[in-house]
């Protein structure tokens, strides 16, 4: 497998920690010294709003990439990407609610599933890692992210209902693998784990049994600091870098980096 550089964080079920994972993993990679870009590709713009990048106030967002010509990609990124505001943080590319209209806008465009792959080419020279927060439904945006990704991280809440979302994303990946020149590489990530709950432990054991090495060694436990960070428009490392959640995303970043070594 090629070195992991583009990481898509995807699940077709909401509420599993997708945006939290995108922002926390991006921060962990940046703090480890890797030049990192986090990109919000979800029309709900949760990651963007979390960081106070309000789409209605931005002149350029990732929406512009999907509406542009290939020759304009490099110049557009200069306008879309917001440089890190502080040392050891990630750059950010915000979403726009009109991303939801692309399904119709791109309906007749040839090669519409590979737009992001081509658009990211100039950024691969600038970043060690590009983390993409994906939309929670199948469509042109999710397909673009999965096709562009070197690694897909699938956060899955340790709850029996969340297993349904895992099956859906697996079905999507299998469908794409039939037509792609290389299979999509993915790892599942257990999130919102509560060791006090027997149901959580049973789901985690089931995931380990079914997925084996495709399940990340790192497990993300419940941590109230994630909510605190969200309420303050920050990432968990800015709230408490020694908290359980921060330490666990640091371990996940190391797990990914070690796989790249």
Distance of CA 174 to the CA centre of its chain: 19
> At 151, phi and psi to the nearest 5?
-145, 135
What is the C-alpha separation between 33 and 199, in angstroms, rounded?
37
To the nearest whole number, what is the mean pLDDT of the chain? 92
pTM value is 0.94
What is the C-alpha separation between 5 and 24, in angstroms, rounded?
16
**Contact in structure between 10 and 134 (CB atoms under 8 Å):** yes
End-to-end CA distance of the chain: 12
The pLDDT of residue 24? 97
- Burial class from Cβ neighbours inside 10 Å (0-12, 13-18, 19+) for residue 238 reads middle
Name the region of 90 (left: φ>0; alpha: ψ -120 to 50; beta: rest): beta
Q: What is the pLDDT of residues 143-153, one digit of tens each?
A: 999 999 999 99
Q: What is the pLDDT of residues 216-258, one digit of tens each?
A: 999 999 999 999 999 999 999 999 999 999 999 999 999 999 9
Q: Which domains does the chain have, with CATH numbers?
A: 6-260 (3.40.50.300)
What is the C-alpha separation between 120 and 8, in angstroms, rounded?
13
**Contact in structure between 130 and 39 (CB atoms under 8 Å):** yes
């Amino acid at each position: 497998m090629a070195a992991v550089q583009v990481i898509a964080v995807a699940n077709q079920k909401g509420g599993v920690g997708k945006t939290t994972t995108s922002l926390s993993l991006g921060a962990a990679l940046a703090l480890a010294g890797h030049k990192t870009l986090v990109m919000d590709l979800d029309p709900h713009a949760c990651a963007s709003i979390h960081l106070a990048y309000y789409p209605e106030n931005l002149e350029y967002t990732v929406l512009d990439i999907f509406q542009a010509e290939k020759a304009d990609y490099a110049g557009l990124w200069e306008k879309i990407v917001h440089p890190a505001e502080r040392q050891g943080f990630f750059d950010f590319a915000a979403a726009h609610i009109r991303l939801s209209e692309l399904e119709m806008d791109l309906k007749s465009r040839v090669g519409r599933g590979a737009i992001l792959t081509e658009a990211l080419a100039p950024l691969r020279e600038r970043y060690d890692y590009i983390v993409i927060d994906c939309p929670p439904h199948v469509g042109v945006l999710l397909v673009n992210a999965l096709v562009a990704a070197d690694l897909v991280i699938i956060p899955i809440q340790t709850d029996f209902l969340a297993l349904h979302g895992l099956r859906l994303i697996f079905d999507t990946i299998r469908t794409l693998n039939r037509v792609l020149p290389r299979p999509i590489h993915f790892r599942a990530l257990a999130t919102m784990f509560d060791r006090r709950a027997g149901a959580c432990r049973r789901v985690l054991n089931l995931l380990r049994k079914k997925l084996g090495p495709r399940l990340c060694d790192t497990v993300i436990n419940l941590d109230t600091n994630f909510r605190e960070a969200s309420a303050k428009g920050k990432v968990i490392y800015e709230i408490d870098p020694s908290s359980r959640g921060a330490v666990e995303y640091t371990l996940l970043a190391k797990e990914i980096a070690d796989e790249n070594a």
